[in-house]
Amino acid sequence: MPIPPRPFTVVCDKCGWKKTVVPMSDALRPGEWFEQCPRCGNKELKMRAAGWLEKAVAEFLRRW
């Protein structure tokens, strides 16, 4: 049984940008992965598990 991918948050330490991603499947699609910060161009983005609030917000936004 496949395990659903866990939501995660991408964070930029330089400018404070962050985005919570709720993957639809194991394969990340465009818009679900960031090679660099869209705001400042920092390529050393950090990933962490999404908090419950971030996860709830991201799942809510995904419906629209």
Q: Which range in 2-10, 28-36, 41-49, 53-61 contacts Zn ion by CB under 5 A?
A: 41-49
DSSP labels, 4-49: PPPPEEEE-TTT--EEEE--SSSSPPTTS--SS-TTT--S--EEEE
Interacting residue with Zn ion among 29, 39, 46, 48 (CB under 5 A): 39
Nearer to Zn ion, 6 or 39 (CB): 39
Nearer to Zn ion, 25 or 36 (CB): 36
Return d(Cα 22, Cα 7) in angstroms, integer. 4
Residues that bind Zn ion (CB under 5 A): 12, 14-15, 17, 37, 39-40, 42
